[in-house]
Amino acid sequence: MENRIEILLEKYSHSRRDSLIPILQDIQEEVGYLSEEAIVIVGKHLGIPTSKIFGLATFYNQFRFEPKGIHHIQVCHGTACHMLGVVSIIEIIEKRLKIKAGQTSRNGKYSLEVVTCIGACSQSPVISINGVYYSKLTAERIKQILEEIMGE
Amino acid sequence: MQFNIEVNNRLIEVRKGETILSALYRNGIKVPTLCNMKDLSPTGACRICVVEVEGKENLVTSCSYPVEESMKIKTHSPRVVKARKTLVELLLSNHPDDCLYCERNGCCELQDLAIDLNIRERRISGKKSRHKLDLSSPSIVRDPAKCILCGRCVRVCDEIQSVCTLDFLNRGSKTIIGTAMARDLNFSSCINCGRCVMVCPTGALHEHGYLDEVLDSLNNPALHVVVQYGPAVTVSLAEEFGIKAGKDINGVINAALRKIGFAQIFDTAFGADLAVMETVELIMQRLETGEGFPVISSCCPAWVKYAEQFYPDILPYLSTCKSPQQMLGSIIKSYYAPQNNINPNSIYSVAIMPCLAKKFEAQREEMTHKAISDVDVVITTRELSRLIKMYGIDIQNIDPQTPDSPFGTRSSAGKLFGTAGGTTEAILRTLHYRMTGKELNSSKWHDLRFVSGIKEIPVKIGGKELKIVLANGLTGIEKLVEGILNKTINAHFVEIMTCPGGCVNGGGQPFKSGDKDVKARTRSLYEIDEVDTIKAAHKNPLINELYEKFLEKPGSDKAKQQLHTCYTKRDVLL
Ligand code: SF4
Ligand code: SF4
Ligand code: FES
C-alpha cells in the first residue's frame, strides 16, 4: 500500500497544506480508506503533524479510517430520510451487526457508513449495500435484509 | 499612539492596536475569559469575554477585538451579564455533576465562572457526554466528558511546546479533543510535560495521581518507605498553604514527611550533586579528545522523550547520566539498602517532584533492573500538599528538621537544578575546578540566569572558551537540534528544559500561580545558593564519601552501572 500512496503523492510533489484534502480524497478513492500508514506518509510529505491531519479528516463525514467490509452498508441521513425515521433504522443495524457508524466489524464482513442525502428522497428511508439500493425501509424489512446478508 | 475610550462611563487611556481586553486589564477592569491565553493570538472561540460596544448590534469578544477611537464600552451591562451567564449555562448543560470528586474541585475556572455569575440551578439540560477516561499515560489522565473545548491544550502543545499531540476531532456536537488516530495518550507523541494540564480550565486534563499507592505502602509494615523531594518543591509548596510565593520551607517539609511516617527522607539535590560529578567527568573525557560535543543534558525526561521521537539522530549526544531523581533512587537501593541490612525489594521509594514527566521516567524500562526499580512512584508538589492536609499536619506550626544520612548534605549547586540555567551553572562550578584545579572566586554566572528562549552563551574557564547553549522551554527547539545535527551550532554543553523557566514551573506545581510566583521561586533558589556554605557538588563531603565507599570515582564501572543509561529511538505517530 505504501507504494500506491507514494505514486499518488508524486503528482503533489510541490504542494503544501492546502492540498491536504484533495490528497486524502485521492487516497480514499485508491485504497478505500485512510489508514494510519497513509496518514503518516502524507504527514511526512507535507510536513504536517498526524494529529492535525486526523483532526481535519474526522471533521468531514466522507473519510473512513477502516477498510470497507465485504458488505458495505451506506445509510442516507438526509432530511427526508431523517423525517421518516432513519435513525431507528441505523440503531437496528448497529445493534444487529455490533458496529457503529464509520466502523467495520472485526471479521471484516460488514461496515456501516452514514452519508448525507444520496438523492433518492422519494424512496426514503433508503440504504445501499455494495451499491444496491433498498428503499422505503421499515424496521421489519431492514431486519430481514440483515438476516439475508448475514446468512451468506 | 494613545487615545481615550469610555468604559462604564469612565475614560481610560488605551494604546492603538491593542485589544479591548488588554486595555481593560491594564486599567484594572476584570472581564472573564476562557479560551484566551497570554502571549498567544486570540481565537475568539468561547465568547465569555463579550462586552457591549455602543453602536454595534452584536456583542463583541473583547479578547480579539481591537480598541477604536471614541469607543463606548459596557463590560457588565445586564445584556452582557445575561449573555455570559447563558454561555456558561450551556457549557454546564452537558457537564458531569461530580464536582465533589473532581481533581479540580475548588480550583476550576468553570466552577469559578458559575459562582461569579450566580448560577444556582440547571436551566438548560443537555445529553451528558459519555466519553471514557484515558488512563493509559503514567503522567496524565484525560477525561473528555469534562472538556469544554476551549482549545487551550491544543494551542499550548502546538505553539509553546512544539509537540502537536492534540487536535479537535470530529465535528459539531461530537467534537472532542484527541490524538492522531484517536490513540490513547500513552501511545501518542505526548512527552508528558503537563503544560496542557496547567492550562486546562477544568478537570478534563489532570495528573495521574498515585496518593493511594503511597498511602497503601505507608500502611504496609513489610515495606521500608523512603522519600526524596526535588529542588523546586521546597520553594513552591508554601503557595498551596497560602504562604507567600517563593518561601523556602525545606526544613518544614522534612519534618512533615517524618510525621507522615516515611522511614527516611532524602533530598534530590544530593542526586543532582551526583549528576554534576558524572556529567563533568563525561565532559572532561570528551575535552581530552575534543570529540563527541556537544554534551546535551538529559535530566528532563520530557525533553528526552521528545528527542527519542522527533530526532533519534541526536540521541548519541545526550548525556548518559540518569536524572538526579533516578540517580538518587538507584543508590538508595544499591548502597543505602545493603549498608542498613535492608532487602532492596522491601524498599518502597517515593519521589516528590514538580513534574509530570518524572512519573513517566520512573516507569521507563531502562530504570528497572532485575525487577528492582530505581524509583517506585512519583507524586507531585500538588499531591504532597494533599498528603500533608490528609494527615492533618499544620505546617505553620512545626519545627524544621534536616534530611537523613547517608545523603544528608547537599550543595546549593544541586538546588539550582530546579531552575532553567541552574543545571549548567552547577556543572560549570565543578568543571572549573576539574579543569583548572582552582575554585572559582565568585560562583555566580549571571549570564546563565533568567535567560529567555534559546541562547548561546560563551564562558571562559582558565584560558579556554567553552560554548554553552541554554534552551529555556521547547519553543524553537527544532532549529537548535537541526543546527547541532548539521554542525552550524557548535557547543560544548547544551541544557534543555521543557518547561519555560525550568522545573520551578513544572507540570506538577501549584495551579493558579502566575509568572511572578514562578520568578519568586527561582529567586528563592538563588538566595539559598547565596547564603549556603557548600556551593559546588565536588565540595559536598558526603558525595566524596559515597565515591570512596561505593562508587570509586566518577565514570568508574560501578558508577556507570548505577548512574548511567542510554536512550533509543521511539516509534509513535508524529
Ligand atoms: S503533556 Fe505536553 S506533550 Fe503531552 S499533550 Fe500535554 S502539552 Fe502536549
Ligand atoms: S523542565 Fe523540569 S518539570 Fe518540566 S518536564 Fe522537564 S524535568 Fe519536568
Ligand atoms: S476569551 Fe475571548 S472568546 Fe474566549
Residue of B nearest to A56 (CA): B169
Q: Identity (one letter) of the amino acid at B52?
A: E
CB < 8 Å to B181, chain A: 36, 39, 50, 54, 65
Alpha-carbon span A39 to B460, nearest angstrom: 49
pLDDT at A120: 80
**B180·A53 Cβ contact <8 A:** yes
B574 found inside a domain: no
Q: Return the residue whose CA atom lies nearest to atom 3 of ligand 3.
A: B44
Kindly state if the Cβ of B152 falls inside 6 Å of ligand 1: no
Give a yes or no: residue B16 inside a domain: yes
pLDDT of residue B174: 87
Same domain for B235 and B143: no
Contact A39 B164 (CB under 8 A): no
pLDDT in tens, B237-247: 999 999 999 99
Based on the fold, state whether residues B124 and B109 are members of the same structural domain.
yes
Secondary structure class of B167 (helix, strand, coil): strand
For chain A, list the domains and their CATH numbers.
2-59 (1.10.10), 71-150 (3.40.30.10)
Residues B535, B550, single domain; the answer is yes
Is residue B81 situated within a structural domain? no
Q: Would you say residue B374 lies in a domain?
A: yes
- Per-residue pLDDT, averaged over B390-399, amounts to 95
Q: Which residue in chain B has the smallest CA separation from A54?
A: B180
Q: pLDDT tier at B39 (50, 70, 90 boundaries)?
A: confident
The residue whose CA is least distant from atom 4 of ligand 1 is B190
Examine the predicted complex and report whether its ipTM is higher than 0.90.
Answer: no
Q: Same structural domain for residues B263 and B360?
A: yes
User: pLDDT at position A131, please?
Assistant: 85
Task: State which H helix or E strand residue B225 sits in.
Answer: strand B224-229
In this structure, the answer to whether residues B167 and B52 fall within a common structural domain is no
What ligand is nearest to the CA atom of residue B34?
3
**Residue range B156-160: mean pLDDT, rounded:** 95
List beta partners, residue B378: B351
pLDDT in tens, B299-333: 999 999 999 999 999 999 999 999 999 999 999 99
Strand partners, B380: B353
Residue B192, pLDDT > 80, answer yes
**Ligand 3, CB cutoff 6 Å, lining residues:** B 33-36, 44-49, 61, 63
Whether B132 and B257 map to the same domain: the answer is no
Question: Does residue B41 sit in the same domain as residue B189?
Answer: no
Nearest to A131 by CA among A66, A64, A68, A65: A68
Ligand 1, atom 8, lies closest to the CA of B157
Of the three residues B76, B106, B121, the one that is the final residue of a domain is B76
Residue at grid coordinates 584545579: B437
CA of B191 to the centre of ligand 1 (A): 6
CATH code of residue B53? 3.10.20.740
In this structure, the answer to whether residues B461 and B372 fall within a common structural domain is yes
C-alpha cell at B405: 544520612
Average pLDDT on B183-194 reads 96
DSSP 8-state symbol, B318? B
For helices A36-46 and A2-10, give the axis angle rounded to 10 degrees: 30
Q: Which of B30, B177, B45, B34 is nearest to B111 (CA)?
A: B34
Whether B355 and B230 have beta carbons less than 8 Å apart is answered as yes
Q: Which of B153, B169, B572 to mutate to test the interface with A (most CBs of A within 10 A)?
A: B169
Longest alpha-carbon distance in chain A: 54
Q: Point out the residue among B170, B171, B180 whose CB comes nearest to the CB of A51.
A: B180
Q: Would you say residue B69 has pLDDT above 80?
A: yes
Domain annotation covers residue B102 = yes
**Host domain of residue B397:** 212-563
**Subunit contact A65:B181, Cβ cutoff 8 A:** yes
The answer to whether residue B38 is domain-embedded is yes
Quick one: average pLDDT of A51-72?
90
Is the CB of residue B266 less than 8 Å from the CB of residue B328?
yes
Q: Which ligand is nearest to the CA of B65?
A: 3
Cα distance between residue B452 and residue B456, in whole Å:
11
Specify the pLDDT at position A150.
87
CB proximity list for B436: less than 8 A, separation 6 or greater: B461, B462
- B7's CB contacts (< 8 A; 6+ apart) are B24, B27, B29, B73, B74, B75
B466 - beta bridge partners?
B459
Interface-testing mutation among A35, A51, A58, A59, with chain B (most B C-beta atoms within 10 A): A51
Say yes or no: B164 contacts chain A, CB-CB below 8 A.
Answer: yes
> Can you give the CATH number for the domain in which B340 is found?
3.40.50.1780
Instruction: Specify whether B360 is located in the same domain as B437.
Output: yes
Q: Which residues pair with B412 in a beta bridge?
A: none
Strand pairing category for A71-76 and A127-129:
antiparallel
Element (H, E) at B53: strand B50-53
**Which residues in chain B have Cβ-Cβ distances shorter than 8 Å to A49?**
164, 180, 189, 574
Which of A40, A55, A58 is the closest to B573 by Cβ? Answer: A40
Mark whether B428 and B541 lie in a shared domain: yes
Query: Mean pLDDT throughout B450-457?
Result: 95
Query: What DSSP letter does each residue of A101-132 carry, written as one string?
Result: TT-B-TTSSEEEEEES--S-GGG-S-EEETTE
Cα torsion B408, B411, B413, B414 to 10°: value is -10
Q: B257 with B340, same domain?
A: yes
Start-to-end C-alpha separation, chain A = 29
Question: Are B148 and B235 members of one domain?
Answer: no
> How many independent structural domains does chain B possess?
3
Residues in contact with B558: Cβ distance below 8 Å, sequence separation at least 6, in sequence order: B550, B551, B552
Q: If interface means Cβ-Cβ distance under 8 Å, which residues of chain A face chain B?
A: 36, 39-40, 43, 49-55, 58-60, 65
Query: Hey, whose CA ends up nearest to atom 6 of ligand 1?
Result: B196
Q: Which helix (H) or strand (E) holds B5?
A: strand B2-7
